[in-house]
Amino acid sequence: MKSASAGPPTLRHVAQASQVSESTVSKIVNRTKRFSPEVERRVQAAVAELGYTPNPHARSVITGRSRTIGVVVADVLNPHFALLIKGVGSVARARGYTVLLTDSDEDSDLEAELLGTLIPRVDGLIVAPRLEAQVVAQFARLKPLALTARPSDLARRQALGEALTFGVDGFQTGQMIGHYLAQGGHRHVSYLHLAQADDDRLRGLEAALGGQGIRCTVHRSAEPSIEGGLRAATAMLLGEDRPDAVVTYNDLMALGVLAEARKFGFEVPRDFSLVGVDDIPYAALTSPPLTTVRTYSREIGVQLAEALLDRIEGVDRLAPTPPTPQLMVRGSSAPRQYEAAPVGRG
């Protein structure tokens, strides 16, 4: 029974209750040293009795570590990030860490602000950055950072300095989509790009299409969301020279395009093929179900967290191989048949 003292019980209270020194209690609580059964019993009893919990802040002041990692994503509402968070969380919990999560709302300035407030509180950070590489690199000098980006381009990777980077290859992702569309006889692809994002996907797509002489029109949006897709759809679909394939930076945008296209009276994939990226859970449930590239969001989160915690704890493990993106062909895309005579189906 705790007497009418202010605040929660401290080490001192446990020490007094069990008639030992504070350091003894500390060592028992932290299992950092063994004591006689008698003493251990008494201390454990007092801990239970008082409901003692160590003050993690006090501990951090001394050790300089907080057993906390920060996560900064652009939008928790995006299932890609939500899955990443879940991956990070499961690893963190298993290894005894707490997660400090923040949502930058797709705003770079806010992202920088959040990084600033998180850094003094955490042992390391996992970031899906919208900030430029140089700025991120500055933060990477203060605390270990693990980034989801995986720039194919060496210069940019070096700009990130000491930060770990890990993620599905963007160039490869774009390339897969390009090859697939080329093979399907498409002649004009519109890509809905995320304004502040890496150009990896775009370059991969263009590389694959360019060789085949297929046109690629690029549209930009600042919002990698359903709304972004909705808003961009008009420009993409209602201009003259309509594309026969639309590729979007991510699935959310694709869902937006799909909804808006339906409103305009288009039918997918009859009027154009639609391809997203991420394979969020909703992608398989639309009608038609969305063709997309699986980016293994959860796995990326797991591997980022493992790598970050390894670095924090000084464990020298081999860097894991990132998953290979996988094209999920579904109903929203179909081959074009421009010169085929109108012979029924197939």
Partner DNA sequence: GTGAAAGCGCTAACAC
Partner DNA sequence: GTGTTAGCGCTTTCAC
Query: Tokens 């409103």 correspond to what residue?
Result: 263
Closer to DNA by CB, 26 or 90: give it: 26
Q: Of these, 22, 107, 153, 299, which contacts DNA (CB under 7 A)?
A: 22
Does residue 285 interact with its own copies by CB under 8 A? yes
Which contiguous run of DSSP H or E holds residue 188? Answer: strand 188-194
Site for its own copies, residues 187 to 216, rule: CB under 8 A: none
Closer to DNA by CB, 34 or 317: give it: 34
Q: Report how far residue 109's alpha carbon sits from residue 6's, in angstroms, rounded to the nearest whole number.
A: 41
Q: What is the DSSP letter of 192?
A: E
152 contact choice in DNA, its own copies, none (CB below 5 to 8 Å, kind-dependent): none
Convert residues 226-265 into a mask of x (bound to its own copies by CB under 8 A) and - (unbound): x----------------------------x--xx--x---
Convert residues 32-71 into a mask of x (bound to its own copies by CB under 8 A) and - (unbound): ---------------------xxxxxx-xx--x-x-x---
Closer to DNA by CB, 7 or 314: give it: 7
33 contact choice in DNA, its own copies, none (CB below 5 to 8 Å, kind-dependent): DNA
11 contact choice in its own copies, DNA, none (CB below 5 to 8 Å, kind-dependent): DNA
Contact criterion met (CB below 8 Å) for 243 and 214: no
Closer to its own copies by CB, 205 or 226: give it: 226
- CA 128 from centroid of its chain's CA atoms: 5
Does residue 10 interact with DNA by CB under 7 A? yes
Q: What is the DSSP letter of 172?
A: H
| Total residue length of the chain | 346
Site for DNA, residues 36 to 65, rule: CB under 7 A: 36, 38-40, 52, 54-55, 58-59, 61-63
Does residue 314 interact with DNA by CB under 7 A? no
Q: What is the DSSP letter of 318?
A: P
Name, in order, each residue with C-beta under 8 angstroms of 217's C-beta and a sequence gap of 6 or more.
188, 189, 190, 191, 243
Does residue 30 interact with DNA by CB under 7 A? yes
83 contact choice in its own copies, DNA, none (CB below 5 to 8 Å, kind-dependent): its own copies
Q: What is the DSSP letter of 284?
A: G
Does residue 105 interact with its own copies by CB under 8 A? yes
DSSP 223-277: --SHHHHHHHHHHHHHSSS--SEEEESSHHHHHHHHHHHHHHT--TTTT-EEEEE
Site for DNA, residues 173 to 202, rule: CB under 7 A: none
Closer to DNA by CB, 23 or 138: give it: 23
Which contiguous run of DSSP H or E holds residue 216? Answer: strand 215-221
DSSP 126-142: EE---S-HHHHHHHHTT
Query: Tokens 């290979």 correspond to what residue?
Result: 324
Least Cα distance to 67 among 305, 312, 314 occurs for 312
Site for its own copies, residues 321 to 340, rule: CB under 8 A: none
Instruction: Please report, as ranges, the residues that interact with DNA according to CB under 7 A.
Output: 7, 10-12, 19-24, 26-27, 29-30, 32-36, 38-40, 52, 54-55, 58-59, 61-63
